[in-house]
Amino acid sequence: MNVLVTGGAGFIGSHLVDAYLARGDRVTVLDDLSSGRAENLNPQARLVQLDLAGEPSPLLDLFRREYFELVNHHAAQIDVRRSVADPAGDAQINVIGTLNLLEACVQAGVAGIIFASSGGVLYGEVPGPSAAETAPKQPLSPYGVAKLAVEHYLFVFKQLHGLHYLTLRYGNVYGPRQDPQGEAGVVAIFAAKLRSGEPAVIYGDGEQSRDYVHVADVARANLLASERLELLNRRPAASIDELAFNIGTGAATSVNRLYQLLCRQLQLERPAVQAPPRPGELQRSLLDGRKAQRLLGFQPQYDLEAGLGLLD
């Protein structure tokens, strides 16, 4: 298959590139290298350095030339605090950039697109044991609003233009190549601090919990989604939730526990520093993954302890 991976020089995208190439696909990466790095890139993939949020004509030219069969969209501004400080800047990349991509898909007759959404930011505080795809959406940041907006655009593009799609709503993804400088990847941040001897900071009481999913599992979920995209799009969707899939492990781990597990894994024993809770931070985020298991055949292979054993 001829696949375009946007954001393919980034953390998750670069693992998808490896997975598609291993499956025998031809892979082009579209990335502006704003947070991604050329050294993440598999040498068998071709890099097109382009800003999705820029002038759309180079993007349209690329699509007209290349006849992509599948687009996997992982390019994004992923810093939640940056989205709070500059909501318009966030929307320019995460909403307008995505719309440019969807327009190019429609104009070039691309068969389908997979979109990286976030179960961690869409659902807000969940009253039940875990959030199913149909749980109420309550994003608490402009970044989350942009993810939800794109899910709605995809739904509408399917109705209006017949563009097929699937949305994957990830938990907290971790693994090799995650940027420890960002604010998104607590596993990478803690690991870097522990290795450098600088104190790691735990905000609040550290009992806030998340659904941590290893990037190798996320890559597998994307391959399964790529295989099932056509089939799952055969009938019209009734809501944005119908073609959305939570991708997590179904296990909640507190920040305190994560820190302990990492200390054990790295065989380093350093106390973390406590800091006041961060406003707007969720207490608990846990995804119900049963739909992905049923319809995509996805089951995570790594629990957190096993996944931490695979860090760089």
Ligand X SMILES: NC(=O)c1ccc[n+]([C@@H]2O[C@H](COP(=O)([O-])OP(=O)(O)OC[C@H]3O[C@@H](n4cnc5c(N)ncnc54)[C@H](O)[C@@H]3O)[C@@H](O)[C@H]2O)c1
Part in contact with ligand X (CB under 6 A); list of ranges 33-41, 126-134, 260-268, 276-284: 33-41
Part in contact with ligand X (CB under 6 A); list of ranges 49-57, 159-167, 186-194, 262-270: 49-57
- Calpha distance 180→195 (Å, rounded): 12
**Closest distance of CB 202 from ligand X, Å:** 18
Helix-helix angle 255-266:186-196, to 10 degrees: 50
**Closest distance of CB 236 from ligand X, Å:** 26
- Contact flag: residue 35 with ligand X (CB under 6 A): yes
Give the pair of three-digit tokens for residue 7.
């954001």
- Contact flag: residue 93 with ligand X (CB under 6 A): yes
Task: Name which position in 76, 104, 221, 223 contacts ligand X (CB under 6 A).
Answer: 76
Buried b (16+ CB within 10 A) or exposed e, 3-29: bbbbbbbbbbbbbbbbbbbeeebbbbb
Q: Looking at this protein, which amino acid is placed at residue 251?
A: A
Residues 133-162 that bind ligand X (CB under 6 A): none
**Closest listed residue to residue 104, CA positions, set 168, 28, 190:** 28
Which is the catalytic residue, given 20, 67, 123, 143? 143
- Contact flag: residue 95 with ligand X (CB under 6 A): no
**Alpha carbon separation from 293 to 61, 245, 289 (Å, rounded):** 38, 9, 6
Known catalytic residue at 212: no
- Contact flag: residue 11 with ligand X (CB under 6 A): yes
Task: Name which position in 25, 31, 133, 211 contacts ligand X (CB under 6 A).
Answer: 31
How crowded is residue 93: how many other Cβ atoms within 10 Å of its Cβ? 20
Binding site for ligand X (CB under 6 A): 7, 9-13, 31-36, 51-53, 74-78, 93, 97, 116, 118, 120, 170, 172-173, 179, 184
